[in-house]
Structure 1
């Protein structure tokens, strides 16, 4: 799909957005209030669940005798989320985001229940796979809701609010998950979020089911081929995650999985994305690279604190709090001053901070520096991502038309998931190969540094979609 340099307006904003020459207004205005609260709540719960699972999964794996499936419980969710993104993205382009969002929330809810009641690790992983379908679809549907409900000049503030919705879970999520596990049971980490998800969706539904969010020119693109490609991407990602189990054939499995992912992902992304084409393709590619660098390294930060410094899982999770707070602060700065800073400057500032964080944690692991150095250093990663992440979403919508908002939103999230899942798998293989040596932790952070530096290439080719003037 080629990308025009002068895109049409983001969406049918006149459905609910009043004309305002001064581009004023607030995401908390009465006409947006319930959608804003409900959407932020859904993002909040997804964040809470992700952080809680990171904290309690070692206990879950021990309780269900499922250590061999520990990594798949994380990578599997990312893999199936790609399928949810593609289906919901195409569905939203055809008929609007209401039914796609509803279906995604139902799958997320069902996956949580399956995991919460699972008697074996295999069934828990199955629940996580279903949950991934819902998580991926929910993300894309919320992006389209933002495009259809809010005027374009409020998009940056909405996505800044989404980023801020990760702060409270980062502050209380690990501690709360540990307390729930200790005083109740780890199953309530899943079941409690399921109950709250129903409440959050009800808030969004109050407005969405009474507002016409369809477009007069729906997409007619064929969806089945893209769904098959998404399934192939998910299979390749799972194969990469399980490559270590192939023993002597691990190298062949890794190579085959990467080839499958590369070929199957191409139809799911704008043309020339993998070649860092100017404009939207570079926006999408940069999202995948920084997601891979950040999230693949992040799972080893608490691991390092536990393994080398003797932290408890709860306190190790709290070691990520400073990064989460700075992520939200930087996202707010981007929401207010992003147009003034410009995309190139945001890219450079964000990448420099991300690389700085990775260098500090690698040095901490190599020289066994004080853990405070690691915690403070990792905070730079949150600041850098807070600048870049919501900006990339704003640019994606600015480059989109009503006919491809779903496709482009799905492509952004697909790149995110593929980048993170692939990087997690690669770093996992490297960590396993070096397990028991002093180089294991520094090696994974070094790989993440390379990914972050590579993101400079698409980051400086994103251009502008006149997002500030729309």
Structure 2
């Protein structure tokens, strides 16, 4: 019996420049997200944009959803190079537009352009990993990409705050643009050989490609309509007629999401079909739970515990560090990777329940920080594993579309989690006692149910026969093979 050769390292001479280039791209994207969020209050104050503050973020998400869908079909048809180039160019253009904006609506438009580029970019990065790295090295690559968020999460807000205060908020946008360009220049020469797949299939061509693009437009438009309507409904001074119109707009937006979403995901995702559909479904569920809870941790610590904002941020930093640890932990597994989805969802359920109990019991701050670090570890294990599994379960001609489906689950999960938690907070909050910890406990216990649903979905994801990815484009979206 011959010895099985060791998998090629991500730091081998052939792969090292590409690994560093992908890390640089994700680091720039992470720093952009952290820096812009920090600078946005100063932007809104100078450009009188408080009334439209939320749109600067929702427009990024909406455009990112559209870019994700378009890039999925495009990369399956043409390979990852065009989408990567366009994504980098759009992200840079959006940063420059926002940095030079004379009015807040121009900043919002710039964020939309950057979001469109971000959607193209992340799908292209996933396809590059699936095409350029051997299967044994892909878990390590995703571990590195998760780690690329750690430094921006720790220092990004501080650096952006200093730049905004000592120089000007415009330099937060303008200063990131050349970093993104430099990262693109590092990667571009290393992916010249990644052309269209030998068998591009039919899912990204002709009428099928146009149908997917129209569904993506409907999904992003529906998400934007719901968010815009909710933002306007929350504003003071709406007449009865305006309230009715906004409620109708939100209902139409929700209908558009429910109509278009099934066609953008692998068949059976919304009912947690075996294999690939449940793997993507698990990704969405844990995103609902984690990001919905994380959004209210600083508020709880400040309002209920009297902690200052900078100290409250330590919990989020601990989550980022735990995320990185979990991403590296998943590179060491020697059992079927699908079981990491069950383990990660279980750990996230326990940490959310533990965080609720510890908060209600007024546990010391270090205990809360430690618990949230384990929640981050659960996400690092789960999300990196879902990324590896989706690539391994997808024929090369469908890696773009399935990676796009994964990003859609990410984005919609995050939106659903934060919006749902925000709605529950608004319903339970007592304005006379804004620091009641019981409100936050209820939010985290409710979100714990989504993490528990992730356990069930993860078990369904593990129920896949041991066979290679099918080449039948009518069936391969269902996924059949373990990593």
**Which TM class, normalised by the smaller chain length?**
0.7 to 0.9
Match status 1:123 vs 2:106: yes
How many angstroms apart in 2 are the aligned matches of 1:252 and 1:434? 24
Q: 2:129 aligns with which of 129, 146, 150?
A: 146
How many angstroms apart in 2 are the aligned matches of 1:434 and 1:58? 27
The more displaced of 228-237 and 359-368 is: 359-368
Corresponding residue for 1:11?
Answer: none
Corresponding residue for 1:6?
Answer: none
Corresponding residue for 1:428?
Answer: 422
How many angstroms apart in 2 are the aligned matches of 1:388 and 1:334? 8
How many angstroms apart in 1 are the aligned matches of 2:137 and 2:309? 38
Corresponding residue for 2:296?
Answer: 300
CA apart distance, 1:219: 3.2
CA apart distance, 1:415: 1.4
| Runs of 5+ consecutive residues of structure 2 not aligned to the other structure | 469-480
Corresponding residue for 1:4?
Answer: none
- Contact 1:34 1:206 survives alignment (8 Å): no
Q: 1:159 aligns with which of 134, 142, 146?
A: 142
Distance change in 2, residues 1:466/1:40 (3 Å) = farther
- Contact 1:77 1:132 survives alignment (8 Å): yes
CA apart distance, 1:466: 6.6
How many angstroms apart in 2 are the aligned matches of 1:308 and 1:45? 34
Q: What does 1:62-211 align with in structure 2 at a 5 Å threshold?
A: 62-209=45-192, 211=193
Q: 2:376 aligns with which of 372, 378, 382?
A: 382
Query: 1:11-49, CA deviations, whole angstroms, 9 ceiling, x for partnerless residues?
Result: xxxxxxxxx941422111121122111111111111112
TM-score by length of 1: 0.88
Query: 1:175-219, CA deviations, whole angstroms, 9 ceiling, x for partnerless residues?
Result: 22222222222222222221100011100012123x243211113
- Contact 1:88 1:101 survives alignment (8 Å): no
CA apart distance, 1:134: 1.0
Q: 2:210 aligns with which of 201, 224, 230?
A: 224
Q: Equivalent residue of 2:269, what SS?
A: coil
How many angstroms apart in 2 are the aligned matches of 1:369 and 1:68? 37
How many angstroms apart in 2 are the aligned matches of 1:440 and 1:127? 36
CA apart distance, 1:261: 0.9
Match status 1:352 vs 2:338: no
How many angstroms apart in 2 are the aligned matches of 1:296 and 1:179? 28
How many angstroms apart in 2 are the aligned matches of 1:199 and 1:96? 22
Query: 1:129-178, CA deviations, whole angstroms, 9 ceiling, x for partnerless residues?
Result: 11111111111100100111111111111111111111111221222222
Q: Equivalent residue of 1:320, what SS?
A: helix
How many angstroms apart in 2 are the aligned matches of 1:311 and 1:395? 41
How many angstroms apart in 2 are the aligned matches of 1:449 and 1:314? 26
Distance change in 2, residues 1:45/1:315 (3 Å) = farther
Q: What does 1:270-419 align with in structure 2 at a 5 Å threshold?
A: 270-309=266-305, 313-337=309-333, 339-340=334-335, 342-344=337-339, 346-363=340-357, 366=360, 369-419=363-413
Corresponding residue for 2:224?
Answer: 238
Q: Equivalent residue of 2:200, what SS?
A: coil
- Contact 2:389 2:482 survives alignment (8 Å): no
Distance change in 2, residues 1:57/1:331 (3 Å) = same
The more displaced of 394-403 and 370-379 is: 370-379
How many angstroms apart in 1 are the aligned matches of 2:36 and 2:121? 19
Q: Equivalent residue of 1:223, what SS?
A: helix
TM-score by length of 2: 0.86
CA apart distance, 1:363: 4.4
Distance change in 2, residues 1:359/1:175 (3 Å) = farther
Query: 1:218-253, CA deviations, whole angstroms, 9 ceiling, x for partnerless residues?
Result: 133321211111111112212222333236446555
Larger Rg: 2
Alpha carbon RMSD of aligned pairs, Å?
A: 2.5
Distance change in 2, residues 1:56/1:453 (3 Å) = farther
CA apart distance, 1:324: 1.1
Query: 1:103-129, CA deviations, whole angstroms, 9 ceiling, x for partnerless residues?
Result: 011111111222222233322222111
Distance change in 2, residues 1:178/1:367 (3 Å) = farther
CA apart distance, 1:300: 2.1
Distance change in 2, residues 1:242/1:257 (3 Å) = same
The more displaced of 318-327 and 261-270 is: 318-327
The more displaced of 308-317 and 404-413 is: 308-317
The more displaced of 252-261 and 320-329 is: 252-261
How many angstroms apart in 2 are the aligned matches of 1:273 and 1:233? 16
Query: 1:437-462, CA deviations, whole angstroms, 9 ceiling, x for partnerless residues?
Result: 43553443333222222222211111
Query: 1:321-361, CA deviations, whole angstroms, 9 ceiling, x for partnerless residues?
Result: 11111111111110121x426423x2333123222332344
Corresponding residue for 2:451?
Answer: 452
The more displaced of 141-150 and 246-255 is: 246-255
